[in-house]
Amino acid sequence: MFPSRRADPGTYARRERSSGPLAATDCELMRLDISIGLDDELSELDQARLARHLERCDPCAQFAHSLAGFTEVLRSDWIPSAPG
């Protein structure tokens, strides 16, 4: 599991960029932050960083839009009716 950049720094360790063969890219970190942000658990500083990244990165902006829509559907009260 990835450590998170949640708003409560006392509980969750902040992810830092690492080096080496498995180093995360900016976009990979931002995509994790998109998910964390949808749960309203991103600090104000990280929200600002994410917003700035999304302004200049179309693939991440599209990912954020898609994930927000998917999350909205999952959180909705809609339950399909049984066939018949």
What does each C-alpha distance from 10 to 1, 7, 13 come to in angstroms?
Answer: 18, 9, 8
Read off the pLDDT of residues 23-81 as tens digits, 9 standing for 90 and up: 568 999 999 999 999 999 999 999 999 999 999 999 999 999 999 999 988 888 766 67
Place of tokens 């976009």: 27
- 12 pLDDT tier (thresholds 50, 70, 90): very low
The residue among 19 and 62 whose pLDDT is bigger is: 62
Whose CA is closest to 32, among 59, 8, 12, 2?
A: 2
Model-level pTM?
A: 0.64
What does each C-alpha distance from 32 to 8, 28, 39, 81 come to in angstroms?
Answer: 16, 6, 11, 34
Q: What is the pLDDT of residue 22?
A: 52
- Whether pLDDT at 9 is above 50: no
